[in-house]
């Protein structure tokens, strides 16, 4: 998977196509393809197999995205947002880059954990929907399929999160919504500015149930 990463992006058209082709895409903008920063970028690209990495040294591309050389930018489709990491200001290495990407890679469905929590807090989307469920359950793959399908319908409006009830770090979240493990799976929706919330205990996770629950809360 990591062979040929990062992909060279030589013009604006290629770069736009590359970014729009993925839920999360990372582009390194560099003046020199062989600079120490670019080689740290390649190291990071090799560590994160499931995120596509692109690299551009084309001045027209850099100016199109309004970035200076030695900038790593993460583009997210879920909230049409981007995050820039300036490599000039502090000695950013592959380690810091990897952490930056892990923190900010929000997807159509983002698995909630202490690392992604940071990106979730900083998202421009103020409505968060949580599917709180046992990820080890045999029903889990089917639940996730329906949940992802529903997430497509609310792209740019609601941030869909998956909370695995087995994770110790998620116990607080489960109890925050006054849920017991025996009541799961459940949906919880949360509006960050005023903490307004609603909870729905589910017998099954279906696209219709999720859609109705979200629409009801939006109204």
More confident residue, 199 or 79: 199
Q: Which of 1-15, 24-38, 71-85, 95-109 has the lowest mean pLDDT?
A: 1-15
- Residue 92 pLDDT > 90: no
Instruction: Give the CB-side neighbour count of residue 149, counting CA atoms within 13 A.
Output: 13
Q: So what's the pLDDT on residue 163?
A: 97
CATH 3.40.30.10 maps onto the chain at 7-104, 109-218
Whole-structure pTM value: 0.86
pLDDT digits (tens, 9 = 90+) for 154-167: 999 999 999 999 99
CA dihedral defined by 154, 157, 162, 165, rounded to 10 degrees? -120
Q: Does the domain formed by 109-218 have CATH 1.10.760.10?
A: no
Candidate CATH numbers 3.30.70.270, 3.40.30.10, 3.40.50.2300, 3.40.50.720; the one for domain 7-104? 3.40.30.10
């Amino acid at each position: 998977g990591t062979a040929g990463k990062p992909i060279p992006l030589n013009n604006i058209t290629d770069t736009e196509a590359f970014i729009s082709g993925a839920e999360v895409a990372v582009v390194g903008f560099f003046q020199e393809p062989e600079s120490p920063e670019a080689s740290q970028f390649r190291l990071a690209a090799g560590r994160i197999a499931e995120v596509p990495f692109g690299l551009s040294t084309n001045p027209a591309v850099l100016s199109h995205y309004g970035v200076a050389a030695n900038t790593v930018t993460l583009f997210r489709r879920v909230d049409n947002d981007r995050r820039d990491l300036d490599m000039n200001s502090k000695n950013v290495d592959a380690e810091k880059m990897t952490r930056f990407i892990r923190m900010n890679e929000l997807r159509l469905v983002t698995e909630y954990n202490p690392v992604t929590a940071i990106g979730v807090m900083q998202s421009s989307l103020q409505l968060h929907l949580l599917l709180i469920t046992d990820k080890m359950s045999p029903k889990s793959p089917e639940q996730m399929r329906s949940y992802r399908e529903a997430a497509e319908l609310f792209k740019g409006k609601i941030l869909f999160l998956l909370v695995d009830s087995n994770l110790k770090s998620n116990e607080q979240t489960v109890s925050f919504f006054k849920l017991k493990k025996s009541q799961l799976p459940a949906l919880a929706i949360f509006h960050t500015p005023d903490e307004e919330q609603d909870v729905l205990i589910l017998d099954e996770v279906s696209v219709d149930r999720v859609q109705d629950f979200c629409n009801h809360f939006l109204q």
